[in-house]
Amino acid sequence: MIDFASEVFANFNAIKAAWTQIGKDTVIGAGADTLTLKNVTAANLVTANFSFQ
């Protein structure tokens, strides 16, 4: 599970709007910061993969 501060992403739809599939990786961008999920297909991500604090 990936935990995001609610100030960064309020919900799963906000994350979906911020991710990009680049080859085999999913890259989630938040301003100047990025999180790369190596060998993870964006289409396989679901709400249960994330929490919001």
User: Which residue type sits at 32?
Assistant: A
Residue 10 backbone phi and psi in degrees, to 5: -80, -30
Kindly list the domain boundaries of the chain, sorted by start residue. Answer: 2-44
Query: What pLDDT is recorded for position 13?
Result: 97
- pTM (2 d.p.): 0.90
| Average confidence (pLDDT) per 10 residues, the chain, 53 residues | 94 97 97 96 97 93
Query: What pLDDT is recorded for position 47?
Result: 97
Contacts of 12 (CB under 8 A, 6+ apart): 46, 47, 50
Instruction: Report the distance separating Cα 41 and Cα 44, nearest Å.
Output: 6
